Amino acid sequence: MDLFLQYLANGVVIGSTYVLVAVGLTLIFGILGVVNFAHGEFYMLGAYAGITAVTLFGVPIWLALGFVLVFSAALGFGAEAILHKPMKNRDATSSIISSFGLAVALQNAALLTLGPQPQLLRTNLSNVPVEIGPVFLPLQRLLIPISMVVLITALYLVLRYTWTGRSLRAMSQHATVARLCGVRVERVAVVTFMVGAALAGVAGLLMSSVFLVHPLVGNMIALKAFTVVILGGMGNVAGAAAAGLLLGVAESFTSAYIANSMRDIIGFVLVIAVLLFRPQGLFGKAVERS
């Protein structure tokens, strides 16, 4: 039982990262209808930015989180100008191809400037043990689910109780009606990309103490994020959060009880099963067709 709880805790840690990345991707798709294949690169660059701030400039992890939020939001601002603003009146394929191009450009830019050598974030928090009953986690890892809960709660409060949040929700329901009601659609698009990129960048920083960071790490993260989005229901923020935790726990148990080599496969098995038996996603609502 103790090992089961430990594996569960490990899964929650990994799943918390998936939640942050997938919620950002869900916002961009649900509100703007943009399928952003460069989303994994926000994760990768956020990780590099955080590692640079901590290791080269000696910034505490708390300040590094704030720096990565600002840095990643700036990336999102630039990505919106490339992937959405010039493409919003074109076929959806245009933004998909553009996102592929942006992903490749960011990967190669990182490869040229930062090199291919994988990097790992090392802080003193990694040496601080935390025991919760039979579960043991370094404080650095415990920060991951804590940060996820704080950020997702803050996002929920913004979406629920602020004018910006109401504008985002209105855009996700009907962009034309939202514009007629006074919503500044262009501003909402920029905010959406900035928030999505910021969440992914923070996830990259948090997980850079667990997994090695390299210029191509965003490829697998993007696949995991799309897996979570499909499992949770396309455009469903709450579903993406629940599905992210579910995928993390499933991977942890698969690695522990079946084989570590199967860890990255289980998500795609779940997606195939969901698409076959519940195409709207585990937490999505079926749409009746006339």
Tokens 């974030």 belong to 121
Let me know if residue 7 belongs to a domain.
no
Let me know if residue 287 belongs to a domain.
no
> Residue 168 is encoded by which pair of tokens?
């985002």
**Cβ–Cβ < 8 Å for 106, 48:** no
Provide the mean pLDDT of the chain: 88
Let me know if residue 70 belongs to a domain.
yes
By DSSP bridging, strand 135-138 and strand 129-132 are antiparallel
The CB density around residue 54, as the number of other CB atoms within 10 Å, is: 21
**Cβ–Cβ < 8 Å for 40, 169:** no
Range of the domain at 60: 17-218
**Cβ–Cβ < 8 Å for 119, 127:** no
- Identify the band that residue 290 occupies on the pLDDT scale cut at 50, 70 and 90: very low
> What percentage of the chain exceeds 70 in pLDDT?
97
Let me know if residue 104 belongs to a domain.
yes
Q: What is the pTM of this model?
A: 0.91
Nearest-angstrom CA–CA distance, 47 and 213: 7
- Range from 84-98, 211-225, 238-252 carrying the lowest mean pLDDT: 84-98
Residue 226: what pLDDT?
Answer: 92
Nearby residues of 176 by Cβ (< 8 Å), 6 or more positions away:
none
- Identify the band that residue 5 occupies on the pLDDT scale cut at 50, 70 and 90: very high
Question: What total of structural domains would you count in the chain?
Answer: 1
Look at residue 118 and tell me whether its pLDDT is greater than 90.
yes
**Cβ–Cβ < 8 Å for 64, 202:** no
Distances (CA, A) of 220 to 7, 213, 223, 245: 22, 12, 5, 17
Nearby residues of 67 by Cβ (< 8 Å), 6 or more positions away:
49, 50, 53, 59
Q: What is the pLDDT of residues 148-183, one digit of tens each?
A: 999 999 999 998 888 888 888 887 777 777 777 777
Amino acid 250 reads: A
191 membership: H or E segment, kind and range: helix 185-207
Residue 289: what pLDDT?
Answer: 40
- Identify the band that residue 205 occupies on the pLDDT scale cut at 50, 70 and 90: very high
Let me know if residue 179 belongs to a domain.
yes
Q: What are phi and psi of 120, to 5 degrees?
A: -135, 135
- Identify the band that residue 284 occupies on the pLDDT scale cut at 50, 70 and 90: low
Let me know if residue 88 belongs to a domain.
yes
Let me know if residue 55 belongs to a domain.
yes
Nearest-angstrom CA–CA distance, 46 and 251: 24
Residue 203: what pLDDT?
Answer: 95
Let me know if residue 139 belongs to a domain.
yes
Interior angle at CA 169, CA 166 and CA 170, nearest 5: 85
